[in-house]
Chain A
Amino acid sequence: MFEELSLHILDVAMNSMAARARTVQIMIGEHARRDRLSIRIQDDGQGMDADTLKHVLANLTTSKHSRKKNIGLGLALLRQTVEMCDGKFEVRSTPRMGTTVTAIMKLSHVDRPPLGDLNATILALCAANPAVEVQLHYLSDTEHFHFSSKEPAKKKVASRPERTSSGEEKTSYEPGRTQKVKRESATAGCLA
Protein backbone atom coordinates (compact mmCIF):
# COMPACT_ATOMS: atom_id res chain seq x y z
CA MET A 1 0.00 0.00 0.00
CA PHE A 2 1.32 3.40 -0.95
CA GLU A 3 1.25 6.39 1.33
CA GLU A 4 0.23 8.79 -1.40
CA LEU A 5 -2.35 8.56 -4.16
CA SER A 6 0.15 10.16 -6.50
CA LEU A 7 2.34 7.08 -6.10
CA HIS A 8 -0.59 4.93 -7.21
CA ILE A 9 -1.02 7.22 -10.20
CA LEU A 10 2.65 6.85 -11.07
CA ASP A 11 2.45 3.11 -10.77
CA VAL A 12 -0.63 2.74 -12.95
CA ALA A 13 0.66 5.23 -15.52
CA MET A 14 3.93 3.30 -15.76
CA ASN A 15 1.80 0.41 -17.04
CA SER A 16 0.60 2.74 -19.78
CA MET A 17 4.19 3.51 -20.70
CA ALA A 18 4.93 -0.20 -20.90
CA ALA A 19 1.84 -0.62 -23.08
CA ARG A 20 3.40 1.73 -25.64
CA ALA A 21 0.92 4.54 -25.15
CA ARG A 22 1.47 7.80 -27.00
CA THR A 23 -0.70 9.85 -24.69
CA VAL A 24 -1.40 9.32 -21.02
CA GLN A 25 -4.16 11.40 -19.48
CA ILE A 26 -4.47 11.78 -15.75
CA MET A 27 -7.73 13.31 -14.58
CA ILE A 28 -8.27 14.28 -10.99
CA GLY A 29 -11.53 15.62 -9.64
CA GLU A 30 -11.66 16.83 -6.08
CA HIS A 31 -15.21 17.72 -5.11
CA ALA A 32 -15.71 18.71 -1.53
CA ARG A 33 -19.37 19.46 -2.06
CA ARG A 34 -20.07 15.97 -3.33
CA ASP A 35 -17.48 14.50 -0.97
CA ARG A 36 -15.81 12.74 -3.84
CA LEU A 37 -12.30 12.31 -5.15
CA SER A 38 -12.04 10.76 -8.57
CA ILE A 39 -8.90 9.74 -10.38
CA ARG A 40 -8.81 8.49 -13.91
CA ILE A 41 -5.78 7.35 -15.86
CA GLN A 42 -6.47 6.90 -19.53
CA ASP A 43 -4.02 5.76 -22.19
CA ASP A 44 -4.02 4.85 -25.85
CA GLY A 45 -1.67 1.91 -25.47
CA GLN A 46 -2.05 -1.67 -26.59
CA GLY A 47 -4.85 -2.46 -24.15
CA MET A 48 -5.86 -5.84 -22.83
CA ASP A 49 -8.36 -8.47 -23.86
CA ALA A 50 -11.11 -9.67 -21.52
CA ASP A 51 -9.15 -12.65 -20.24
CA THR A 52 -6.08 -10.64 -19.37
CA LEU A 53 -8.24 -8.04 -17.71
CA LYS A 54 -9.98 -10.63 -15.54
CA HIS A 55 -6.63 -12.07 -14.62
CA VAL A 56 -5.28 -8.65 -13.68
CA LEU A 57 -8.18 -7.89 -11.40
CA ALA A 58 -8.61 -11.32 -9.89
CA ASN A 59 -5.05 -12.04 -8.83
CA LEU A 60 -2.53 -10.23 -6.83
CA THR A 61 0.31 -11.66 -8.82
CA THR A 62 1.34 -11.70 -12.41
CA SER A 63 1.88 -14.82 -14.47
CA LYS A 64 4.97 -15.22 -16.55
CA HIS A 65 2.78 -16.67 -19.28
CA SER A 66 0.44 -13.73 -19.36
CA ARG A 67 0.42 -11.62 -22.45
CA LYS A 68 1.55 -8.56 -20.64
CA LYS A 69 4.26 -9.51 -18.25
CA ASN A 70 4.49 -6.20 -16.51
CA ILE A 71 1.16 -6.45 -14.74
CA GLY A 72 1.76 -7.18 -11.14
CA LEU A 73 0.59 -5.72 -7.92
CA GLY A 74 -0.06 -2.20 -9.09
CA LEU A 75 -3.76 -2.34 -9.89
CA ALA A 76 -4.52 -4.63 -6.99
CA LEU A 77 -2.88 -2.18 -4.61
CA LEU A 78 -4.92 0.69 -5.95
CA ARG A 79 -8.10 -1.37 -5.70
CA GLN A 80 -7.31 -2.16 -2.09
CA THR A 81 -6.83 1.53 -1.29
CA VAL A 82 -10.04 2.47 -3.07
CA GLU A 83 -12.10 -0.19 -1.32
CA MET A 84 -10.71 0.93 1.99
CA CYS A 85 -12.17 4.40 1.35
CA ASP A 86 -15.72 3.36 0.41
CA GLY A 87 -14.86 3.83 -3.21
CA LYS A 88 -15.37 2.39 -6.61
CA PHE A 89 -12.69 0.98 -8.87
CA GLU A 90 -12.98 0.19 -12.51
CA VAL A 91 -10.72 -0.84 -15.37
CA ARG A 92 -11.87 -0.68 -18.96
CA SER A 93 -9.71 -1.89 -21.76
CA THR A 94 -9.91 -2.72 -25.42
CA PRO A 95 -7.07 -4.40 -27.30
CA ARG A 96 -5.22 -1.89 -29.49
CA MET A 97 -7.43 0.94 -28.20
CA GLY A 98 -6.12 1.57 -24.74
CA THR A 99 -6.94 1.23 -21.10
CA THR A 100 -8.82 3.42 -18.64
CA VAL A 101 -8.44 3.00 -14.91
CA THR A 102 -10.96 4.86 -12.74
CA ALA A 103 -10.84 5.19 -8.99
CA ILE A 104 -13.49 7.05 -7.06
CA MET A 105 -13.12 7.59 -3.35
CA LYS A 106 -14.90 9.30 -0.52
CA LEU A 107 -12.96 12.53 -0.13
CA SER A 108 -13.46 12.82 3.60
CA HIS A 109 -12.82 9.17 4.39
CA VAL A 110 -10.40 8.82 7.26
CA ASP A 111 -8.35 6.17 5.45
CA ARG A 112 -8.01 8.10 2.23
CA PRO A 113 -4.32 8.75 1.53
CA PRO A 114 -3.37 12.32 0.54
CA LEU A 115 -2.79 13.08 -3.12
CA GLY A 116 0.82 13.83 -2.29
CA ASP A 117 3.54 15.03 -4.61
CA LEU A 118 1.83 15.02 -8.00
CA ASN A 119 4.63 17.05 -9.50
CA ALA A 120 7.21 14.38 -8.80
CA THR A 121 4.87 11.82 -10.35
CA ILE A 122 4.50 13.83 -13.55
CA LEU A 123 8.23 14.45 -13.67
CA ALA A 124 8.95 10.73 -13.35
CA LEU A 125 6.47 9.96 -16.13
CA CYS A 126 8.10 12.52 -18.41
CA ALA A 127 11.45 10.92 -17.67
CA ALA A 128 10.09 7.46 -18.42
CA ASN A 129 9.57 8.41 -22.02
CA PRO A 130 9.82 12.04 -23.14
CA ALA A 131 8.15 11.08 -26.42
CA VAL A 132 4.90 10.26 -24.63
CA GLU A 133 2.55 13.14 -23.97
CA VAL A 134 1.59 13.28 -20.32
CA GLN A 135 -1.54 15.29 -19.57
CA LEU A 136 -2.91 16.27 -16.22
CA HIS A 137 -6.42 17.63 -15.80
CA TYR A 138 -7.22 18.84 -12.34
CA LEU A 139 -10.69 19.93 -11.37
CA SER A 140 -12.02 20.99 -8.00
CA ASP A 141 -14.96 23.01 -6.74
CA THR A 142 -13.02 26.23 -7.12
CA GLU A 143 -10.30 25.70 -9.68
CA HIS A 144 -9.51 23.89 -12.87
CA PHE A 145 -6.21 23.53 -14.62
CA HIS A 146 -4.56 21.55 -17.27
CA PHE A 147 -0.99 20.49 -17.89
CA SER A 148 0.56 18.83 -20.89
CA SER A 149 4.17 17.81 -21.32
CA LYS A 150 3.94 18.61 -25.02
CA GLU A 151 2.44 22.10 -24.95
CA PRO A 152 4.65 24.99 -26.00
CA ALA A 153 6.32 26.52 -22.98
CA LYS A 154 4.60 29.90 -23.19
CA LYS A 155 1.06 28.63 -23.00
CA LYS A 156 1.63 26.83 -19.78
CA VAL A 157 -1.45 26.46 -17.64
CA ALA A 158 -4.85 27.95 -18.07
CA SER A 159 -6.69 28.92 -14.95
CA ARG A 160 -10.44 28.77 -14.95
CA PRO A 161 -11.79 29.70 -11.55
CA GLU A 162 -15.35 29.62 -12.86
CA ARG A 163 -15.99 26.24 -14.27
CA THR A 164 -18.68 27.19 -16.68
CA SER A 165 -17.08 26.48 -20.00
CA SER A 166 -15.34 23.33 -18.90
CA GLY A 167 -18.07 20.95 -19.90
CA GLU A 168 -15.74 18.47 -21.48
CA GLU A 169 -13.67 17.67 -18.44
CA LYS A 170 -16.65 17.92 -16.18
CA THR A 171 -18.60 15.23 -17.91
CA SER A 172 -15.59 13.00 -18.28
CA TYR A 173 -15.65 12.33 -14.58
CA GLU A 174 -19.07 10.76 -14.62
CA PRO A 175 -18.78 7.06 -13.97
CA GLY A 176 -20.35 4.67 -16.42
CA ARG A 177 -20.41 7.23 -19.17
CA THR A 178 -20.92 5.49 -22.48
CA GLN A 179 -17.86 5.35 -24.62
CA LYS A 180 -17.84 5.75 -28.36
CA VAL A 181 -16.12 2.44 -28.74
CA LYS A 182 -17.76 -0.51 -27.11
CA ARG A 183 -15.41 -1.67 -24.43
CA GLU A 184 -15.13 -4.84 -22.52
CA SER A 185 -15.16 -3.93 -18.92
CA ALA A 186 -14.73 -5.59 -15.62
CA THR A 187 -15.84 -3.89 -12.48
CA ALA A 188 -14.46 -4.89 -9.18
CA GLY A 189 -15.53 -4.00 -5.71
CA CYS A 190 -18.44 -1.72 -6.40
CA LEU A 191 -19.63 -0.54 -3.07
CA ALA A 192 -22.09 1.90 -4.52
Chain B
Amino acid sequence: MNLEELKKLKEKAQRQVALREGSKKYRVVVSMGTSGIAAGAREVMKTMLDEIEKRGLEDVEVRVTGEVGLEDVEPVVRIEEAGGEKTTYARLDTEKAKKIVAEHLEKGKKVDNLAVGKEKKPE
Protein backbone atom coordinates (compact mmCIF):
# COMPACT_ATOMS: atom_id res chain seq x y z
CA MET B 1 0.00 0.00 0.00
CA ASN B 2 1.49 3.31 -1.01
CA LEU B 3 0.48 6.68 -2.32
CA GLU B 4 1.02 5.85 -5.99
CA GLU B 5 -1.24 2.84 -5.73
CA LEU B 6 -3.93 4.93 -4.11
CA LYS B 7 -3.80 7.47 -6.90
CA LYS B 8 -4.19 4.76 -9.45
CA LEU B 9 -7.05 3.34 -7.45
CA LYS B 10 -8.85 6.63 -7.53
CA GLU B 11 -8.62 6.82 -11.30
CA LYS B 12 -9.59 3.22 -11.61
CA ALA B 13 -12.61 3.52 -9.37
CA GLN B 14 -13.88 6.45 -11.36
CA ARG B 15 -13.12 5.00 -14.77
CA GLN B 16 -14.29 1.48 -14.16
CA VAL B 17 -17.10 1.90 -11.70
CA ALA B 18 -18.40 5.42 -11.28
CA LEU B 19 -18.44 6.27 -14.97
CA ARG B 20 -20.34 3.16 -15.84
CA GLU B 21 -23.70 4.51 -14.90
CA GLY B 22 -26.88 4.56 -16.96
CA SER B 23 -28.45 1.69 -18.85
CA LYS B 24 -25.99 -0.58 -20.56
CA LYS B 25 -26.48 -3.62 -22.74
CA TYR B 26 -24.83 -5.90 -20.21
CA ARG B 27 -24.81 -5.77 -16.46
CA VAL B 28 -22.35 -8.06 -14.72
CA VAL B 29 -23.28 -8.85 -11.13
CA VAL B 30 -20.61 -10.47 -8.96
CA SER B 31 -21.70 -12.27 -5.80
CA MET B 32 -19.53 -10.90 -2.99
CA GLY B 33 -20.87 -12.42 0.20
CA THR B 34 -18.63 -14.19 2.71
CA SER B 35 -18.60 -17.41 0.71
CA GLY B 36 -17.94 -15.60 -2.55
CA ILE B 37 -15.03 -13.68 -1.07
CA ALA B 38 -13.56 -16.86 0.37
CA ALA B 39 -13.80 -18.54 -3.03
CA GLY B 40 -12.02 -15.70 -4.82
CA ALA B 41 -14.84 -13.46 -6.09
CA ARG B 42 -12.79 -10.32 -5.55
CA GLU B 43 -10.05 -11.50 -7.90
CA VAL B 44 -12.66 -12.58 -10.45
CA MET B 45 -14.26 -9.14 -10.33
CA LYS B 46 -10.91 -7.40 -10.67
CA THR B 47 -9.95 -9.55 -13.65
CA MET B 48 -13.24 -8.81 -15.36
CA LEU B 49 -12.90 -5.06 -14.80
CA ASP B 50 -9.38 -5.10 -16.22
CA GLU B 51 -10.36 -7.26 -19.16
CA ILE B 52 -13.40 -5.12 -19.97
CA GLU B 53 -11.21 -2.07 -19.98
CA LYS B 54 -8.48 -3.71 -22.01
CA ARG B 55 -10.97 -4.65 -24.67
CA GLY B 56 -12.58 -1.23 -24.58
CA LEU B 57 -16.09 -2.54 -23.94
CA GLU B 58 -18.27 0.48 -23.23
CA ASP B 59 -21.66 -1.12 -22.99
CA VAL B 60 -20.99 -3.08 -19.81
CA GLU B 61 -21.40 -2.21 -16.17
CA VAL B 62 -20.03 -4.24 -13.29
CA ARG B 63 -21.82 -4.43 -9.97
CA VAL B 64 -21.25 -6.31 -6.76
CA THR B 65 -23.93 -7.88 -4.60
CA GLY B 66 -24.16 -9.99 -1.46
CA GLU B 67 -24.90 -13.70 -1.21
CA VAL B 68 -27.07 -15.02 -4.04
CA GLY B 69 -27.84 -18.42 -2.57
CA LEU B 70 -25.34 -20.40 -4.63
CA GLU B 71 -22.72 -20.76 -1.91
CA ASP B 72 -21.60 -24.21 -3.01
CA VAL B 73 -20.57 -23.10 -6.49
CA GLU B 74 -18.93 -19.75 -5.78
CA PRO B 75 -17.50 -17.58 -7.27
CA VAL B 76 -20.72 -16.76 -9.09
CA VAL B 77 -21.29 -14.08 -11.72
CA ARG B 78 -24.62 -13.23 -13.29
CA ILE B 79 -24.84 -11.45 -16.61
CA GLU B 80 -28.07 -9.58 -17.21
CA GLU B 81 -28.85 -8.41 -20.70
CA ALA B 82 -30.90 -5.39 -21.57
CA GLY B 83 -33.61 -7.66 -23.03
CA GLY B 84 -34.12 -9.33 -19.65
CA GLU B 85 -32.16 -12.50 -20.32
CA LYS B 86 -29.99 -13.69 -17.45
CA THR B 87 -27.10 -16.10 -17.49
CA THR B 88 -25.38 -17.37 -14.35
CA TYR B 89 -21.80 -18.54 -14.41
CA ALA B 90 -20.40 -20.51 -11.51
CA ARG B 91 -17.17 -22.00 -10.15
CA LEU B 92 -15.15 -19.26 -11.78
CA ASP B 93 -11.52 -18.33 -11.62
CA THR B 94 -9.57 -15.57 -13.32
CA GLU B 95 -9.02 -17.56 -16.53
CA LYS B 96 -12.69 -18.42 -16.86
CA ALA B 97 -13.57 -14.81 -16.12
CA LYS B 98 -11.39 -13.64 -18.99
CA LYS B 99 -13.08 -16.12 -21.28
CA ILE B 100 -16.52 -14.86 -20.31
CA VAL B 101 -15.53 -11.28 -21.07
CA ALA B 102 -14.06 -12.28 -24.43
CA GLU B 103 -16.94 -14.50 -25.50
CA HIS B 104 -20.10 -13.29 -23.85
CA LEU B 105 -19.50 -9.59 -23.34
CA GLU B 106 -17.50 -8.93 -26.49
CA LYS B 107 -18.89 -11.37 -29.06
CA GLY B 108 -22.31 -11.93 -27.46
CA LYS B 109 -21.79 -15.70 -27.39
CA LYS B 110 -22.64 -17.51 -24.18
CA VAL B 111 -20.05 -19.79 -22.64
CA ASP B 112 -22.31 -22.81 -22.21
CA ASN B 113 -19.89 -25.05 -20.37
CA LEU B 114 -19.49 -22.51 -17.55
CA ALA B 115 -23.15 -21.56 -17.22
CA VAL B 116 -25.40 -23.14 -14.61
CA GLY B 117 -29.14 -23.53 -14.29
CA LYS B 118 -31.78 -23.07 -16.92
CA GLU B 119 -31.89 -20.05 -19.11
CA LYS B 120 -34.63 -17.64 -18.30
CA LYS B 121 -36.23 -16.72 -21.57
CA PRO B 122 -39.49 -14.89 -21.86
CA GLU B 123 -42.06 -17.28 -23.33
Evaluate contact between B9 and A122: CB separation under 8 angstroms.
yes
- Tell me the A102-148 residues at the B interface (CB within 8 Å): 115, 117-128, 130, 136, 138, 143, 145, 147
A7 nearest CB neighbor, chain B only: B37
Total interface residues on B, using CB and 8 Å?
34
Evaluate contact between A123 and B17: CB separation under 8 angstroms.
yes
Evaluate contact between B63 and A11: CB separation under 8 angstroms.
no
Evaluate contact between A153 and B6: CB separation under 8 angstroms.
no
* Chain B nearest CB, measured from A31 CB (Å): 14
* Chain B nearest CB, measured from A36 CB (Å): 16
B13 within 8 A of A: yes
Total interface residues on A, using CB and 8 Å?
37
- Tell me the A29-78 residues at the B interface (CB within 8 Å): 70, 72-74, 77
Write out the residue numbers on chain A whose beta carbons fall within 8 Å of the beta carbon of B10.
Answer: 147, 151, 153, 156-157
- Tell me the A6-20 residues at the B interface (CB within 8 Å): 7, 10-11, 14, 17-18
Evaluate contact between B17 and A74: CB separation under 8 angstroms.
no
B64 within 8 A of A: yes
Contact of A124 among B6, B38, B64, B67 (CB under 8 A): B64
Write out the residue numbers on chain A whose beta carbons fall within 8 Å of the beta carbon of B49.
Answer: 123, 127
A7-B42, A14-B66, A127-B64 known; A157-B13 Cβ under 8 A: no
CB-CB nearest 10 A-B residue pairs = A128-B64, A127-B64, A119-B9, A126-B17, A126-B13, A74-B34, A120-B46, A127-B17, A73-B34, A157-B6
- The chain A residues found within 8 Å of chain B, CB to CB, are 2, 7, 10-11, 14, 17-18, 70, 72-74, 77, 115, 117-128, 130, 136, 138, 143, 145, 147, 149, 151, 153, 156-157, 159
